[in-house]
Structure 1
Amino acid sequence: MSHTLDTYRLLGRSGLRVSPLALGTATFGTEWGWGAERNEARKMFDLYVERGGNFIDTANTYTNGSSERLLGEFTRDNRESLVLATKYTTLRRPGDPNSGGAHRKSLFASVEASLRQLNTDYIDLLYLHVWDFRTPVEEILRGLDDLVRQGKILYAAISNAPAWQVSRMQTIADLRGWSPLVALQIEYNLAERGGERDLIPMAREMGLGVVPYSPLAGGVLTGKYSHDDLTATHAASADSTRKSFNAALGTVTERILTIAGAVREIAAELDRTPAQVGLAWLLHHPDVTAPVIGARAPAQLEDNLGALEVDFTASQLARLNTIGGIELGYPHAMLASDHIRRVTGGDLRIETRR
């Protein structure tokens, strides 16, 4: 089942139509030590949009604000045709305690700053970026709803938060008639599948479209890493800076390199690149709306878009599902056991459809 950027998907319980791959723009700007300068960023933006892509992902503090500012320039002529998603909660001014967090003051100030930087009157999709464990959920939801009513944001979403808090928020929003959350952005890829325990099933039940970031595990699934990278000290070049960053985050491990090896094997069978295989696995996932792809050069983005054309055999898909599989743990494993099926349902057979 191949895809195209202009074969759109609905985002969660909304009627908003988005491309099956979102263009991540955390690489727009070089302030973080890697990324794309303006002209290269413009080429990637144009390539994505010319292919029919409409879903652009950024955040208020990506590349210290350069990402939003560049998008404000690039979207000047086609703003209405695009779905612009940005985020709030990360500190905009270190040392100012209210310039970050999920609270109302941070929310409203961040949105106003993003509107200026994006050179737009409204934000299509606003994510709470990182859960802060301090702000009451009613304060967050009411603030988001006020911004929707003002027309400054059209849809609300959330990222990097516990499943029980997200489901609680969605329930409160429904009961009080406030704007619901329509999307959940989480780290999800063949190497990081913790979202399968609670976050993804919760999103399915509560009507949130799943938008995975880091779909290639920070690049480790591209096949560019080896066992030497487990202990190597990298020089300060653009590429090795990212390698050092991944090593510091603990994303280069024996387990992930084993998964990357399996991805390479299937890529060779399909005459595709490992990056295309890793992204295609997400594209074929029934609970995923749109992975966020982030490239540093047009050639890399072109390769990523090739994932839209990848088809797996049933055997290849089963191998990918198995190699990165995780233990679901209690209560999921217990509830899925044959014993529980017998004592709760006996011989009962029910056909389930999604």
Structure 2
Amino acid sequence: MVNLKNLSKIGIGTYRMSIQDLEHRNSLNYAIEKGINLIDTASNYQNGDSEKLIGNFIKDSQRKNVFVVTKAGYIQGDDIEKIKGLNIKKLIKITNHFFYSLDKKFIKFKFYESLKNLNTDYIDCFLIHNPEHYFAIENNYQKDINNDILEIFEFLESLVTEGKLRYYGISSNNIATINSKGIDIYKILESKNNYPSFKILQFPYNLVEREASNILINKNSLISLSKEKNIITMSNRPLNSSLDGKVLRLVYNKSDLSLIEHEKEEELFNSFLIKITEKLKILGENSPLDVFLPIKFFIDNRKIIANSEAIDKAINNYLIPFLSQIELNNYETINMLRELRNYWVLFSKEFNNKRLESLQQELVHKGILDSNDKREFPVLACNFYLKNGIDHVLMGLRNKKYIDEITEILQ
């Protein structure tokens, strides 16, 4: 078993990794070879396929060489049907496709399912996954949130006694903030003596979201308070954040940007708009294009959309339905749209670089980053997090290239 003191500073986060992808298995193996022994997953990642990937991997004599963290709380995908016979009481419906629960019966169910998915007799660390979701909609469970967490701790402590679990804790997106959605992390940390295997807190920490370093309670930051209580901190989202209301990737995009041709995109986009205008006239509609919101969005924003995911969402949810409505979803138009999408993805990378450069200059000006540090940005950022008291940084290392970039931190 991997001792807590021997955990690698960098862990591999498997949010987007699945047993279906051979490259992901190869990345896991390569990460272990390079000295990474910390693997983070959750029961809902890839509808359970992330856990299954790890389970398939660690059965090959790797179990003793890795420390596996998983989480529960989310009810999505196949789990929505699975839980119907469990009579779960503390259950909330956030959307038709997303439920959430901290009912001990549900946590027990997910723990044993994770054991099966992970193909193991024990789990190194089990985290309550984003308990702030209890505050997504009005419900009667919010006032009991802290007691519910401690009740689950009692259950998890019993699993430690049985040898099925080693440690447990909380993963939350906002426990580091003063507005922590009713979760009193100070109260929970003060109760630590009653829960000796409560050892880990996971939360976002990056160059934008640095609240865990700020004074939170009694002149303590969450990081300093955790150290005082002998709690290990793990940063998620180290290279992804949000700035000015838009997603920001904290990595410079270098590939393909030489292919950006603004004039050609302008020509193609104008041709695209002309086709729409001509079709609207045939339908007897002579209003200017900017009265149609799907079209206006791309006229105004196509060069400043944050990432490809946002581009695809806008195209698939708004633009294509609009084209279908006016019966312009023919091969020629859709092919033109595909070509435009390629330009827009490049624009998003260029836009990200400009925003990141501006942030970097601001952080250098404030003395947070060193202008003379010319290392790759992921290395620079992760070293900053570790220097500021974060114990471990979880990164989405889905291929060998990403692992090679951060190798120097592992030395």
User: TM-score under structure 2 normalisation?
Assistant: 0.59
2:112 counterpart residue number: 112
Q: 1:138 to 1:183 in 2, by over 3 A?
A: closer
Tell me the alpha carbon deviations over residues 41-89 of structure 1, each in whole angstroms, 9 at most, x when there is no partner: 1121111111222111111111111110010011112102211111111
Tell me the alpha carbon deviations over residues 135-192 of structure 1, each in whole angstroms, 9 at most, x when there is no partner: 4233122111111112221101111163662332233341x4x334211101001111
User: What is the alpha-carbon root mean square deviation over aligned residues?
Assistant: 3.6
Matched, 1:56 2:75: no
2:358 counterpart residue number: 258
1:300 counterpart residue number: 402
Alpha-carbon distance between aligned partners in 1 of 2:56 and 2:49, rounded to the nearest angstrom: 11
CA contact 1:141–1:169 (8 Å) conserved in 2: no
Matched, 1:82 2:66: yes
1:165 counterpart residue number: 184
Q: Residue 397 of structure 2 aligns to which amino acid in structure 1?
A: A
Q: Residue 303 of structure 1 aligns to which amino acid in structure 2?
A: E
Q: 1:172 to 1:46 in 2, by over 3 A?
A: same
Identity of paired residues, percent? 23
CA contact 2:206–2:385 (8 Å) conserved in 1: yes
Q: Residue 71 of structure 2 aligns to which amino acid in structure 1?
A: K
- Deviation of 1:294 after TM superposition, in Å, equals 0.7
1:147 counterpart residue number: 159
Secondary structure in structure 1 of the residue aligned to 2:207: coil
Q: 1:193 to 1:255 in 2, by over 3 A?
A: farther
Q: 1:210 to 1:153 in 2, by over 3 A?
A: same
- Deviation of 1:306 after TM superposition, in Å, equals 3.9
> Aligned pair count?
279
| Pairs within 5 Å for 1:123-202 | 123-131=123-131, 132=134, 133=142, 134-135=144-145, 136=147, 137-160=149-172, 162=175, 165-174=184-193, 176=194, 178-197=195-214, 198=216, 199-202=222-225
2:320 counterpart residue number: none
Matched, 1:281 2:381: no
Q: Residue 74 of structure 2 aligns to which amino acid in structure 1?
A: T
**Alignment gaps of 5+ in structure 2:** 92-98, 135-141, 177-182, 217-221, 242-247, 258-300, 314-337
CA contact 1:122–1:154 (8 Å) conserved in 2: yes
**Higher Rg:** 2
Out of 207, 213, 221, the residue aligned to residue 230 of structure 2 is 207
Secondary structure in structure 2 of the residue aligned to 1:167: helix
Out of 47, 65, 70, the residue aligned to residue 30 of structure 2 is 47
Alpha-carbon distance between aligned partners in 2 of 1:264 and 1:39, rounded to the nearest angstrom: 40
Moved more, 256-265 or 75-84: 256-265
Q: Residue 171 of structure 1 aligns to which amino acid in structure 2?
A: E
Q: Residue 207 of structure 1 aligns to which amino acid in structure 2?
A: N
Alpha-carbon distance between aligned partners in 2 of 1:211 and 1:151, rounded to the nearest angstrom: 24
Matched, 1:70 2:59: no
Out of 27, 30, 46, the residue aligned to residue 16 of structure 2 is 27
Q: 1:267 to 1:118 in 2, by over 3 A?
A: farther
Q: Residue 75 of structure 2 aligns to which amino acid in structure 1?
A: L
Secondary structure in structure 1 of the residue aligned to 2:188: helix
CA contact 2:237–2:395 (8 Å) conserved in 1: yes
**Alignment gaps of 5+ in structure 1:** 1-7, 30-35, 310-354
Q: Residue 80 of structure 2 aligns to which amino acid in structure 1?
A: P
Out of 233, 251, 258, the residue aligned to residue 222 of structure 1 is 251
Q: 1:254 to 1:142 in 2, by over 3 A?
A: farther
- Deviation of 1:269 after TM superposition, in Å, equals 4.4
